A and B are shown apart, each in its own frame.
Chain A
């Protein structure tokens, strides 16, 4: 007993080494730097327009007027709906198609498989800025400008998602798939019933990345939409600054409300994403 206690003490004293103190301090500073803008966002959303440039973190006279104003504005709710519809649709589409293609590339032997994979991978090297003009021309010629489809189509399937899913499917042992084949399942059902449940961490990670990416997307939705009814939340919120004067308190209120779905998605899927990131790390 005494020996155990001595050992524990020794272990504890080893834990408080200068290296650890420096590491914790750096982590704390990093955490503060990351959380400060968020705190200012919430703080500003509770201020009146006159108090916006008063940089105190805790407002002198907090008010929920901004929230009532923003939520009462029909346009805001429309933008919120647009963003939700687009982010959810694109996420489902990515999870479905990226997984399907990733699985095919990982588990089926066919001529040109390697070439197709390289072609998909090489598109990762093209920056979005270079693609915007072709996308715009394409949308314009096909009549997709100012439509939900116009906003969504470039992201319905991604090279990154396909690559991620392929890597994970490669880790699924073939025996599982062959056992299902012997049991009489068709290839689509094998993918859906057997392979997909085995890569849930990857699906969750992909779903979170895709949802966040589309929820916060600004550049392409701004270009492809002209009608205010089709704005997504980030585009809509930014329009608060385009009118007569910049209404920071409303922008911050909109942004604060906008973080709620991302928090919800993260809370729902976080236990999978942590595993997913770990697995991705292990796979190198």
Chain B
């Protein structure tokens, strides 16, 4: 097990800078998820930790030692790839055992480890099969097995679930999480799926354009996003964002009535964020934001209904209880209570606080 430290880590491809000197400490045994849109530098950062990409600047420390110049094999880390990368010409057992290729263990000891790993992952009956005869989920488990068998200092996962269907993805999420609980090994996980990040991580690292925007626990990021990007990226459906003005301690938003809120100190234009789950269809009850709008579309999900409506010039998503499905074209009232409004500076897009 090991602590991983990124100190002013830089990656450049020719004159293009893909990662801009990022700082991060991943504690021993922590499950850290890098999340962000395509091209944000998350995979590049992971590959630098693995040793598959040269580091252009800064330092990478694993277990307190600078490993910038070390080969992947000298870093004692294991990696699981997006397309599994299990070798088609080897059986499941050989694939798992391949993680021990350079190990000096005896043949019997290696076999014992392969069988133990197979058992943990529910592959014990498939050890003689070829990957072609396995399902997507089983292949993913083999890839994890090959990483596990080595007892590495850290596991690196590069979008490992993106090739699986939704149901299997949710099952594998829980399996990886329980595996982490059982092994207690540091995990660095890369994904563009915020649901994966929210459900699995101890700590989420939000990246954009080669920079880290925010680091924190899933709840922390959900409740206290530092800017508009993180606020909209975390949470599904995305946070509604409307323009407003703060003037003399009052907030005004086109097409909405606001009352009884304590606002952060700011003067001028602002962006007001409301999560769809906080914007509820129904009449106003107490302090907060109230508005009415025309229903554009509805998404009945069973437990709740997502209602897309036009409020003033903005299009927002609100929620209604599962059995309430407003007619398209009808006018409905929506309300967001005190404490559920996120305010951001309209120019810098940085958070101003909640109201």
Chain A residues with CB under 8 Å of chain B are 173, 175-176, 178-185, 194, 197-198
Contacts and interface: CB of A to CB of B under 8 A. Distances in A.
B77 interface: yes
Best-surrounded residue of B51, B72, B77, B83 (most CB of chain A within 10 A): B72
A182 B101 contact: no
Interface of B: 50-52, 71-73, 77-79, 81-83, 85, 87-89, 98-99, 101-102, 146, 150
B72 A198 contact: no
Nearest to B152: A182
Contact of A173 (B71, B77, B83, B146): B83
B102 A185 contact: yes
Contacts of B82: 175
Contacts of A173: 83, 85
A194 B90 CA distance: 10
A184 B73 contact: yes
A183 B52 contact: no
B73 A183 contact: yes
A175 B102 contact: no
Contacts, number: 51
19 contacts: A173-B83, A175-B83, A176-B85, A176-B87, A178-B79, A179-B79, A179-B146, A180-B98, A181-B71, A182-B51, A182-B72, A182-B73, A182-B79, A183-B73, A183-B101, A183-B150, A184-B101, A184-B102, A185-B101
A182 to B, nearest CB: 5
B102 A197 contact: no
A176 B79 CA distance: 11
Given A185-B101, A185-B102, A179 B81 contact: yes
B77 A182 contact: yes
A185 B98 CA distance: 10
The 5 A-B pairs at the shortest CB distance, nearest first, are namely A184-B73, A184-B102, A179-B85, A175-B85, A197-B89
Contacts of A179: 79, 81, 85, 146
Contacts of B98: 180, 183
Best-surrounded residue of A184, A185, A194 (most CB of chain B within 10 A): A184
A184 B98 CA distance: 10
Given A181-B73, A182-B50, A183-B102, 18 more contacts: A173-B83, A175-B81, A175-B82, A176-B85, A176-B87, A178-B52, A178-B81, A179-B146, A181-B71, A182-B51, A182-B77, A183-B78, A183-B98, A183-B150, A184-B72, A184-B102, A185-B101, A198-B88
Contacts of A184: 72-73, 101-102
Contacts of B146: 179, 183
Contacts of A185: 73, 101-102
A60 B77 CA distance: 77
A181 B99 CA distance: 10
Nearest to A200: B89
A179 B99 CA distance: 9
A183 B99 contact: yes
Contacts of A180: 98
Contacts of A175: 81-83, 85
B52 A182 contact: yes
A182 B77 CA distance: 7
A18 B52 CA distance: 60
A258 to B, nearest CB: 34
Contact of B72 (A181, A194, A197): A181
Nearest to B98: A183
A176 B81 CA distance: 9
Contacts of B83: 173, 175
Contacts of A197: 87, 89
A29 B81 CA distance: 53
B81 A198 contact: no
Contacts of A176: 85, 87
Nearest to A181: B72
Contacts of B81: 175, 178-179
Contacts of B50: 178, 182
Nearest to B143: A179
Contacts of A183: 73, 78, 98-99, 101-102, 146, 150
Contacts of B73: 181-185
A182 B150 CA distance: 11
Nearest to B103: A184
Contacts of A178: 50, 52, 79, 81, 85
Best-surrounded residue of A176, A179, A180, A194 (most CB of chain B within 10 A): A179
Nearest to B102: A184
Nearest to A179: B85
A197 B85 CA distance: 14
B269 to A, nearest CB: 47
Contacts of B51: 181-182
A175 B77 CA distance: 16
B91 to A, nearest CB: 13
Contacts of A198: 88-89
A85 B77 CA distance: 47
A182 B78 contact: yes
Nearest to B90: A197
A181 to B, nearest CB: 5
A185 B89 CA distance: 17
Nearest to A176: B85
B220 to A, nearest CB: 32
A94 B150 CA distance: 37
A87 B185 CA distance: 54
B147 to A, nearest CB: 9
Contacts of B88: 198
A194 B102 contact: no
B87 A194 contact: yes
A156 to B, nearest CB: 27
A128 to B, nearest CB: 36
Best-surrounded residue of B50, B51, B52 (most CB of chain A within 10 A): B52
